[in-house]
């Protein structure tokens, strides 16, 4: 894989041609009402694309899902007196304020603007999120949303309106490899890099993806928004999962899966019961904050079992992982031969730094998966890694060209370092000790 992959050039797949304004093609921009997607639309307009804005109405958990608006009946608000008002309910994971902001930006830019009702489709992502926590895994709904909606369902809509490209405000880049094939690269601003959440985009669709702000740093994006007169230039970034606006993901799981909200034993590393928790779905592997138990040393969630509803806590060294196996593989470069180890950088959390290791492709697993992909691979880390958890996305980067995304998958199992935990003296807590943690 690495040995046959040439270093990608820095040129964009669709270079700007100032001599042909308006002739670059039609692009549908996913506009969330934030500064990043707004600047993305403005840049593309100035580069000569025919830009159409689109706000994805996704709905919110607990509300009644209404009929999905057909693409050819999507509500439009564009420049001119014939533009119709957008009717958006007060409910929704992207708030009515976000929708109004996106519309205001479109009006400022003078571009057509549509609202796509994806509420029924988004229900699939909420179900995935809840099911993963119920099954004891750590989900990443943003990756699934990009796979299934932004660069999935939205592509179908783009084709219906005759758009050639889909664009978003992600901090990542699409470039041309030496052999002419497209490559997904990290954003220039590594502090904001979002290539991790885009690994699931089908390789054949990279040519249709435009990521205009991937070559900018965040302060530059805000400066451009102000320069372009966009009303969202100083709007704060969203820090929450869009369909959990109160950040109470455990409460969402409780409401969707009432049987998950039941007490269970809290164990120490030796298997002794030291307390009680309100449901294993309220904890994630590696969690320390919110683990309300005092053992005389810092404790972390080191294991949990949804079948028995048990949560195990222990010292940090019990989190050390040697390797992991991932399924639903999506390769954005030619995959390595089955069984052959290839050096890579691997990233297993959104906010973590890619770490060196090696990957080995395994035989496909034909069992059904959420994405329908059957590829399987194993990653062995060069050094022990902390808090690698099933359910997380595992993204691979080229060792020789670390900006390039080779592919990724979803962690199924983790091999932790075999070791005897340090035995710390502590008082035995009563069975009904009030212990609860929320990530």
Catalytic residue among 54, 93, 116, 145: 145
How many residues does this entry show for the chain? 439
Longest CA span, the chain:
77
Catalytic-residue membership of 145:
yes
Candidate list 75, 242, 324, 439, residue with the active-site label: 242
116 assigned to active site: no
Own/partner pairs for 70-78, CB < 8 Å, 24+ apart? 71/116, 71/156, 71/157, 71/160, 71/161, 72/160, 74/114, 74/115, 74/116, 74/117, 74/157, 75/114, 75/115, 76/112, 76/113, 76/114, 77/103, 77/106, 77/107, 77/113, 78/106, 78/111, 78/112, 78/113
Give phi and psi for 412, each to the nearest 5. Answer: -100, -40
| Residues forming the active site | 145, 242
């Amino acid at each position: 894989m690495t040995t046959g992959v040439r270093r990608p050039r820095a040129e964009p797949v669709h270079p700007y041609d100032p001599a042909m304004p308006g002739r670059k093609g039609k692009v549908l921009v996913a506009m969330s009402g934030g500064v990043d997607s707004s600047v993305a639309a403005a840049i593309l307009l100035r580069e000569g694309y025919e830009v159409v804005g689109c706000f994805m109405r996704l709905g919110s958990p607990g509300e009644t899902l209404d009929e999905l608006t057909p693409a050819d009946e999507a509500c439009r608000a564009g420049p001119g007196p014939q533009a119709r008002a957008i009717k958006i309910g007060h409910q929704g994971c992207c708030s009515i304020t976000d929708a109004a902001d996106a519309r205001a930006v479109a009006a400022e830019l003078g571009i057509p603007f549509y609202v796509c009702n994806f509420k029924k489709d988004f229900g699939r992502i909420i179900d995935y999120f809840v099911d993963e926590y119920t099954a004891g895994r750590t989900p990443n709904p943003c990756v699934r949303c990009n796979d299934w909606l932004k660069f999935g369902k939205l592509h179908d809509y783009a084709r219906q309106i005759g758009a050639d490209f889909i664009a978003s405000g992600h901090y990542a880049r699409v470039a041309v490899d030496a052999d002419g094939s497209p490559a997904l690269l990290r954003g220039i601003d590594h502090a904001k890099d979002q290539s991790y959440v885009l690994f699931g985009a089908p390789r054949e669709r990279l040519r249709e993806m435009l990521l205009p702000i991937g070559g900018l740093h965040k302060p530059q994006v805000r400066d451009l928004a102000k320069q372009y007169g966009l009303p969202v230039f100083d709007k704060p970034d969203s820090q929450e999962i869009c369909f959990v606006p109160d950040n109470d993901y455990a409460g969402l799981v409780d409401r969707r899966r009432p049987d998950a909200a039941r007490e269970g034993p809290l164990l120490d590393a030796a298997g002794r019961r030291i307390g009680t928790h309100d449901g294993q779905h309220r904890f994630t592997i590696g969690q320390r904050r919110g683990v309300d138990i005092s053992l005389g040393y810092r404790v972390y969630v080191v294991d949990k079992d949804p079948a028995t509803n048990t949560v195990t806590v222990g010292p940090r060294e019990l989190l050390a992982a040697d390797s992991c196996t991932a399924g639903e593989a999506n390769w954005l470069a030619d995959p390595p031969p089955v069984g052959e180890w290839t050096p890579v950088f691997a990233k297993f959390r959104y906010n973590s730094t890619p770490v060196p290791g090696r990957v080995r492709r395994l035989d496909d697993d034909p069992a059904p998966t959420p994405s329908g992909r059957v590829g399987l691979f194993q990653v062995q880390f060069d050094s022990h890694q902390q808090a690698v958890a099933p359910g997380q996305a595992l993204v691979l980067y080229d060792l020789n060209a670390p900006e390039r995304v080779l592919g990724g998958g979803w962690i199924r199992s983790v091999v932790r370092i075999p070791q005897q935990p340090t035995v710390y003296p502590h008082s035995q807590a009563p069975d009904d000790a009030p212990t609860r943690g929320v990530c």
